[in-house]
Structure formats: C-alpha cells, structure tokens
Structure 1
Amino acid sequence: MRRIAMLALLMTGACSMNPRLDIPKPPVAASYPDAAAAEPASAAAIDWRTMFGDPRLQALIDLALANNRDLRVSTLNVEAARAQFRVARGAMLPQVDANGSYTRQRIPTSTAAAGIGGATGGGTGTAMPSGFEFGQYSANAALTSFEIDLFGRLRSQSQAAFERYLASDEGRRAARIALIGSVVDAYLAERLAAEQLALTERTMADWNMSLDITRRQHEAKQVSGLELAQAEGQVQQAAADLAAGQRALAQAGNALQLLVGAPIPADLPAPIPLADQPIMTQLPAGLPSDLIANRPDIRQAERELVAANADVGAARAAFFPRLSLTGLFGFTSLAFDNLFKGDNRTWSFTPQISQPIFHGGSLRGELRLAKVQKSIAIANYEKAIQTGFREVADGLAGRATYKRQLDAQRKAVDAAERRTRLSDMRYRVGFDSRLELLDAQRSQYAAQQAMLELRRQELSSATGLYRALGGGDEGRAPSK
C-alpha cells in the first residue's frame, strides 16, 4: 500500500517547466473608427436566422451546413486532434498488459541441472538419454516502462495536444461562420445576376420596339440612316449584355451550388428581390475587446499560443532526468494444472533513471525551435486581432456610407427615368434628335444596373460586418 501511495504521489507531484505566459495586449485602438461614442453591444449574439430573414437563403444555409465538404473536413480535423490528445494523455498513465504463454524446450544432458526431472511435480518433463525435454506455462501482468513525470514533460505534451484540440474546434467554428457568409455572398451574387439579366431583357424588349419604329420611319424617309444605325447598335449592345448576364447567372448558380454541397432543390421558397432583402444592415459593433471573446479565429490563435508555450515546457523538461518503472507479476509452472498453485508466483521490479549527457545539440535545437514557434504564435495571435479590427472597421465604414450612397443613386435613377420620358416626348414632337433619346435610354439603363449592384454591395458589406464580429458562432469550445 505504501508503494502504491508513493507511486501516486510521484504521478501527481510533477512540477511544470512551462514558462509564464502573458497574453499580449490587443495591438489595436480602444475603439473603432466610424463607431458611435456609446456603441451598443456587439451584434455577434444575433442568430444568423434573425440576421438573414429570407426563407430561401435560410434553406440554402441549412443545406450548406449539412453538406459543405470544407466544413466536413474541418469537423474531421477536430476529431483527429481529439484523438491526438488522447494519445498524449495516455502516455501519462501506466500501461499494463496481461500475457500468457507456453514454451516447449529441450536441454542437453550435459547442461541439464541435477534433479530437474523431480521438479516437475506433474511428470510433464521427459528424460531421454541425450537430454531433457519439458514444457513451461506462464501468465503475468506487466507494467511496461511507465515514466514518472517528475519534471512535467508528459504533462506539457498533453496540455499542448489538448490546446490544439481546442484550437481545431475553434477553427471549425471559424469555418462555419465563413461558410455562412460565403453562402450569403453567393446568394446575393446570384440574385444580382438574375435581376440584372431581367433588367437587360426588359430594356432590350423596349429597345427592339423602338428599333422597329425607327426602321419604319427610315423606310418612310422620316429619319436618316445614321439614326437607324444608332438604334441598331443600341440593341446589339443590349444583346451582348444579355449574353453576359446569362453567363454571370449560370456561374453564380454554380458557385452557390458548390458552397451548398448538393443540388439546389426545386421546391425552395421564392427568392426575395435585392431591394426588399430582410438583411439587417445597421449592426452594432461593441468594442474591440469583444472580438477576442466573439471571434473563433482569434480564440484559435490564442489556443495555439498556449499550446506553443506548453511545447517550450516539454522541451525544457527534456534536459532533466527521466525516471521509468518496469514491473511484472505472474505465475510460472511446468504443468498447466499447477500454474496458479503453490509457490509458482513470479515478480520483478525495475526502476530506471536516465540523464541526457550528449545528444549532439538536438535538445537545445528542439528548445530553440519551441521558443521560435511560440514567437510565431504570438505574432499570429496579434495579427488575428488586427485583421479582425480591420474587417470590423471596413464594415462600419460601409454601415456609415452605403445608405447615403443608395439614397443618392436612387435619386439618380429617378432623374434618369424622368430624362428618358422627357426625351421621348421631345423626340416624338421633333424637338430632340434620336441621338438625345438614345443617350437618355443608355443613362437610365446604366443607372438601374448600378443601383442593383450598389444594393448588393450594401447587403454584402452588412454580411461581412456580421461575420467580422463573430456572428453565426453556435457556442464555445468543449472542456477537457
């Protein structure tokens, strides 16, 4: 019992060689640019279904979360890291194996021990003129080279593996958020392509009607060939835009299907136009300090930093002695019936200590490598914070400017439509040339296309801000 207590004390009393870890302060400003003085709490807590209210978009996100291959790989990476942690943790515990064996051997008479035949007890040995032949049974439980972690080497390795497991889970969460944002962007791109194509088709139909009128007027000698050529060129340009729009719509659909990871069902809810998309665009950002708690990619970088610090501790502990134990307890007999009887017990106990003396500089190289990797982890952690700060700042700049830009563009569309109506009226009564009407029509078409693109950019910017704030994360990492 004393030996067991002493062994438990040695197992739990290991010191740690991990250096003190001071998490760097966020290398960013205390507040965001373009943020209100009393900015509300971060929008990261908003559920993605609340953020994206389009039922068709919600169904696509659900499909992507279930089928996307990149997210599936991230999930499998978490399982692999968890298995690696179990391997590292298992090295801290004793490994006990049960063994059973039977050995049959022959000893020459010249080397046979005196009286060995009488030691069988069960008559299993057979004496022969040239030697002695017998069988031996054994059963034992063996403790194989159990290292007592006096200086915390195994504990540091286990901690590093656990932190990397947590980091991989944070990486999966970051991949989940990125996937949601990518699906939204691809959906908006598809909606933009579809609506721009519909606008091109309507415009081309109007321009074809105008071209028919111009042709009849030209046949009646009422307009010149120059005006007819201008009308034909306008229609052909619309035809080129139509082909480009069809290509853009097909490619946008392909990109969306790749993200979803499965064929898009035909029974999805009808899409909502870009102008009416129920996506929240005025999101609160909170403070930069919220990013550390809300963004899984920053938490992932922090976990990697803790793991790198534990690697330094393991490399330090490698310079100190290692104490290992090997033990065996079992039974040995020449007869199977007597294996567990009498004085057939056997045991052995072998403590061993080893001290590194000369390893050709490999231990110092491993320690130096661990320290450099820790410095790299610090830089990656700080860069993750700076990247998150920049992404939020970009989103806030969009939040502050897109509404004003959209209002101005909407007025520009209204003005272009009014100009087209007036130009058409003046052309019909002969006050304006055909060239003036064509220019007005082209300006209206360009303004409407720009309006659709600008609305898509506003929604995409809001999505980017939501993603930058850590929105879409379903929870925290698991415990040990």
Structure 2
Amino acid sequence: MSRPAPTIRALASAALLPLMLAGCMAHPAPEIATPTPGLPEAFFFAPDADARTALAALMPMDDPAYSALADAAIAEAPSLAEALARIDSARAGARRAGAERLPNITADGSVRQNRINTNQFGEAGRQGFVPSEQTTYGANITASWDPDIFGQIKAQERAAIARIDAASAQAQGVRLALLAEIAGSVTDWRVIEARAAAIDADVAAAKQLASLAKVREDAGIAPGFDRVRAEATASSSAVRLAALDSERARLIGRLVTLTGQDAASVRAALATTAPAMVVAAPPASMPSDLLANRPDVAAAAANLAASDADLAAAARARFPRITLTGIIGLAAFQPENFFDEDSIIGTLTGAIAGPLLDFGRVRAGIDAAAADKRAAFAAYQGAVFQALGDAEAGYGLVTAADAEARLS
C-alpha cells in the first residue's frame, strides 16, 4: 500500500519548524537598567524666592543691537542652519521607516529575444515546427509586503521618531545657546563702552591736572613731581583705553561667527544707542524644572529612547520574516497579442526566512545595540549632571559677584 502524499500544511510545518526552533533557542535581549538620576530638592546657591526673576529678564531685549543681531542669527547662522537640516534628515528617516511597514509596489517591462538550436528538438526542429528565434514581450506589476509579525520594523520606526525628537531638542539647544552668546557679547560690548567712557574721563582729568601742575611748576609754587605723576596717570589711562580695542575686536569676531554677518554689519548694529542696563536677579528654577527645560537633557533622553528601540529591533532579528509577494502582468510572443486575455499572467507567493546558523551575526548585532543603549544612558546621566553643575556654578557666581559688589 502506497504512502499518501504529504499535505501542504504538513510541508509548511516542516519548513517552519527549524526557523521557529532557531527563534526559541536564541537568547533574549539583555535588560539594560536606566534609573532616573537622583536630584536635589533645591539648588545650593539658589537665591531667595523673593529675589528671583524670570529668565527672559536676563536677556537685553530692549537693546537694538541685540535685537538686530539675534534676528540675523536666527535667519543666517550656519550652526542653526546645520541643526535645522539635521531635523529634516531625521524626519526623512522617520518617513522611510514608516513606509517600510507598507507594501512596496513596482512596475517593469521587458522585451526579450531568444535564439535556440532547433536540432535539439529532433525531426520537429529540422522541419521548422520550432522557430529558431523567439521574441517575448512582458510587463509586470509586483507588490510585496512584510506584515512585521514580530515587530522589527515597528521598533525601527520608533527609533526614527525618537531621533526627530533628539534633533529638534538639539536645534533648540543651538538656538538658545546662540541667543545667549549674542546677549553676552552685546552686554560685554556695552560694558566696554562704559569702561571706555570712564577711562576717557580719567585721561582728560589727568591731562588737566598735569597742565595745572606744569603751571605751578613753572611759577615755582610746586615741584615737578606733581606734573610727572599726573602725566604718568594720563599715560597709564591711555594704555588702558587702547587695550580695549583688542577686546572690541574679539567681540566683533565672535559675533561674526555667531550671526553669519560681516564685521561692518556687526559694527553698525553695535553702534546703536542702548538703554540703561538693569541688572536682574537670577531666574527661579528647581532641579526638576531644569530637566524639563534643558534642550541637551531632552536630546539625551530622546537618544536613549532611540537606542532602546534599536535594541528591540536588533532582538527581533532573531525571528523569521514573512514576505507576501503578488505579481500580475502580461506576456506575449507578438505585440498585437499583448493585451489579449490569454496574455494575462499572475503569481502569489508567501515566503518565510530567518536565521538558522549565522555563526553569531544576530547576537553580535544585539550586543552592539545593548552597548549603544548603555552609552546613551551614560550620556543622559552626563547631560543631567552637566545641567545641574552649570546651574549651581551660575547661581554661585552671581552670589559671589553680589557679595563682592556689596563690599566694594
């Protein structure tokens, strides 16, 4: 008695068994602990609550030089343009990752000519029943789709979306740093102008004193020592005044770099008259608020989320991928028969493929993704403590400067 032929279900089960076993035998993805860093309840050097002000009060918003240079930087600064381009790149990557979850449809056409040896067909070939040359005309529409049973493509999409958040936070950080440096440079320029005015007054007073001492010396009323001392004071003040030019040049060069403007445009903006400077108290902030508002911390957190999704995608590479493919087309030996009903052809295919014996390739990918996640978490911790350190240092410097001013 003959053995019955195996059914399609049995053949499919036999084909799937090795792949399923390979997925089950693979080690699970490593668990990477990412605890939230501990934060103090308040900053050590923070001012009293009644002395605090808003962050915007620290910016010289009423200074026309700051307004002009800030607007120019937002429009043309190379560093900000680079950051914005990285956002566009991240968005394109997310669109690509999302499109991978949808079917891929392609179209193709072909004309193929074959020449064969008719002798291989025996008497039929020698008598001309089999043509020696044959032209085939074809056109196909092919659709393929991965249903993403195990979620690898979805994890890759999550990683791409997280990178948009990271790029956006980095761009916001570049923008804030740009405006802060411009504000600091404009403020330094105004301070230099005030110092120059004070030194000018010192030089004029010293020259006047030297002139009076010269008159007294010529009249024999006073010794020449008074004149020499006054002239030395005037000379010293003139040297201090000349030294301010190097500081002006440094600030102009810095603003050229920040704004993308030429030196003449920067100098023209700084030549505008500024209102009287008002020194504001440090802004109010809590450590938890700092984590919520610092762009570099937000970018590090987004990069950590992206690395977590990358690890999930790498772990899902252990499992088989199922691909569904459908083809519908036309094929004919004569152009006039191309659109006949008999020329229609079609194919529907379901395929499954997965790692069986890859000699550690998938595992190496998982280990690399796990290491990247550990590095991203370390970078996140570093960003948090960098933010805390910057805030403490800023508050401490303001407190020390206020104490020094009270003593002077």
TM-score range normalised by the length of the shorter chain: 0.7 to 0.9
Deviation at 1:359, TM superposition (A): 2.9
Deviation at 1:203, TM superposition (A): 1.2
In the alignment, what sits opposite 2:327?
A: 328
The 5 Å alignment of 1:306-345 reads 306-345=305-344
Cα RMSD after superposing both structures: 3.2
In the alignment, what sits opposite 1:291?
A: 290
Q: Residue 101 of structure 1 aligns to a residue in which SS?
A: strand
Deviation at 1:302, TM superposition (A): 0.8
- The structure-2 alpha-carbon separation of the partners of 1:42 and 1:393, relative to structure 1 and needing over 3 Å to count, comes to farther
Looking at structure 1, the residues matched to 389 and 269 of structure 2 have their Cα atoms a distance apart, in angstroms, of 40
- The structure-2 alpha-carbon separation of the partners of 1:95 and 1:111, relative to structure 1 and needing over 3 Å to count, comes to farther
Q: Does 1:26 align with 2:25?
A: no
- The structure-2 alpha-carbon separation of the partners of 1:346 and 1:187, relative to structure 1 and needing over 3 Å to count, comes to same
Letter paired with 1:71: L
- The structure-2 alpha-carbon separation of the partners of 1:130 and 1:357, relative to structure 1 and needing over 3 Å to count, comes to closer
Looking at structure 2, the residues matched to 359 and 110 of structure 1 have their Cα atoms a distance apart, in angstroms, of 47
Report if aligned partners of 2:101, 2:146 keep a CA contact under 8 Å in 1: yes
In the alignment, what sits opposite 1:305?
A: 304
In the alignment, what sits opposite 2:10?
A: none
Q: Deviations over 1:63-88 (max 9, x none)?
A: 21111111111111111111122222
Letter paired with 2:87: V
Q: Does 1:241 align with 2:243?
A: no
Q: Deviations over 1:350-397 (max 9, x none)?
A: 332223233333322221121121112112212222222222233333
Normalization by structure 1: what TM-score? 0.70
Q: Does 1:95 align with 2:108?
A: no
- The structure-2 alpha-carbon separation of the partners of 1:291 and 1:114, relative to structure 1 and needing over 3 Å to count, comes to farther
In the alignment, what sits opposite 1:154?
A: 153
Looking at structure 1, the residues matched to 237 and 57 of structure 2 have their Cα atoms a distance apart, in angstroms, of 42
Looking at structure 2, the residues matched to 143 and 48 of structure 1 have their Cα atoms a distance apart, in angstroms, of 59
Looking at structure 1, the residues matched to 208 and 391 of structure 2 have their Cα atoms a distance apart, in angstroms, of 49
Letter paired with 1:32: F
2:74 equivalent among 51, 54, 65: 65
Gaps spanning 5+ residues in structure 1: where?
Answer: 1-16, 117-126, 410-480
In the alignment, what sits opposite 1:13?
A: none
Report if aligned partners of 1:163, 1:306 keep a CA contact under 8 Å in 2: yes
- The structure-2 alpha-carbon separation of the partners of 1:138 and 1:208, relative to structure 1 and needing over 3 Å to count, comes to same
In the alignment, what sits opposite 1:260?
A: 259
Looking at structure 2, the residues matched to 70 and 88 of structure 1 have their Cα atoms a distance apart, in angstroms, of 27
Looking at structure 2, the residues matched to 346 and 112 of structure 1 have their Cα atoms a distance apart, in angstroms, of 27
In the alignment, what sits opposite 1:388?
A: 387
Letter paired with 1:141: I
The 5 Å alignment of 1:185-224 reads 185-224=184-223
Deviation at 1:332, TM superposition (A): 0.6
Q: Does 1:143 align with 2:136?
A: no
- The structure-2 alpha-carbon separation of the partners of 1:115 and 1:70, relative to structure 1 and needing over 3 Å to count, comes to farther
The 5 Å alignment of 1:128-139 reads 131-139=131-139
Looking at structure 2, the residues matched to 236 and 339 of structure 1 have their Cα atoms a distance apart, in angstroms, of 100
Q: Deviations over 1:280-323 (max 9, x none)?
A: 434222x2212232222111111111111111111111122222
Q: Does 1:81 align with 2:80?
A: no
Letter paired with 1:301: A
Report if aligned partners of 2:90, 2:167 keep a CA contact under 8 Å in 1: yes
Report if aligned partners of 1:84, 1:161 keep a CA contact under 8 Å in 2: yes
In the alignment, what sits opposite 2:19?
A: none
Looking at structure 2, the residues matched to 42 and 154 of structure 1 have their Cα atoms a distance apart, in angstroms, of 48
Report if aligned partners of 1:53, 1:279 keep a CA contact under 8 Å in 2: no
Deviation at 1:399, TM superposition (A): 5.0
Q: Residue 342 of structure 2 aligns to a residue in which SS?
A: coil
Looking at structure 2, the residues matched to 252 and 150 of structure 1 have their Cα atoms a distance apart, in angstroms, of 59
Letter paired with 2:230: A
Letter paired with 1:359: D
2:114 equivalent among 105, 108, 116: 105
Worse overlay, 300-309 or 250-259? 250-259
Looking at structure 1, the residues matched to 167 and 283 of structure 2 have their Cα atoms a distance apart, in angstroms, of 29
The 5 Å alignment of 1:167-186 reads 167-186=166-185
Normalization by structure 2: what TM-score? 0.81
Deviation at 1:247, TM superposition (A): 1.9
Looking at structure 2, the residues matched to 149 and 399 of structure 1 have their Cα atoms a distance apart, in angstroms, of 56
In the alignment, what sits opposite 1:406?
A: 405
Deviation at 1:408, TM superposition (A): 4.0
Report if aligned partners of 2:69, 2:269 keep a CA contact under 8 Å in 1: no
Deviation at 1:19, TM superposition (A): 7.5
Looking at structure 1, the residues matched to 284 and 94 of structure 2 have their Cα atoms a distance apart, in angstroms, of 39
Letter paired with 1:27: G
Worse overlay, 242-251 or 31-40? 31-40
The count of corresponding residues between Structure 1 and Structure 2 is: 377
Looking at structure 2, the residues matched to 230 and 48 of structure 1 have their Cα atoms a distance apart, in angstroms, of 42
Deviation at 1:22, TM superposition (A): 7.0
Looking at structure 2, the residues matched to 199 and 329 of structure 1 have their Cα atoms a distance apart, in angstroms, of 87
Q: Deviations over 1:400-430 (max 9, x none)?
A: 4544543443xxxxxxxxxxxxxxxxxxxxx
Q: Deviations over 1:329-355 (max 9, x none)?
A: 111112223222222121223332223
- The structure-2 alpha-carbon separation of the partners of 1:114 and 1:304, relative to structure 1 and needing over 3 Å to count, comes to farther
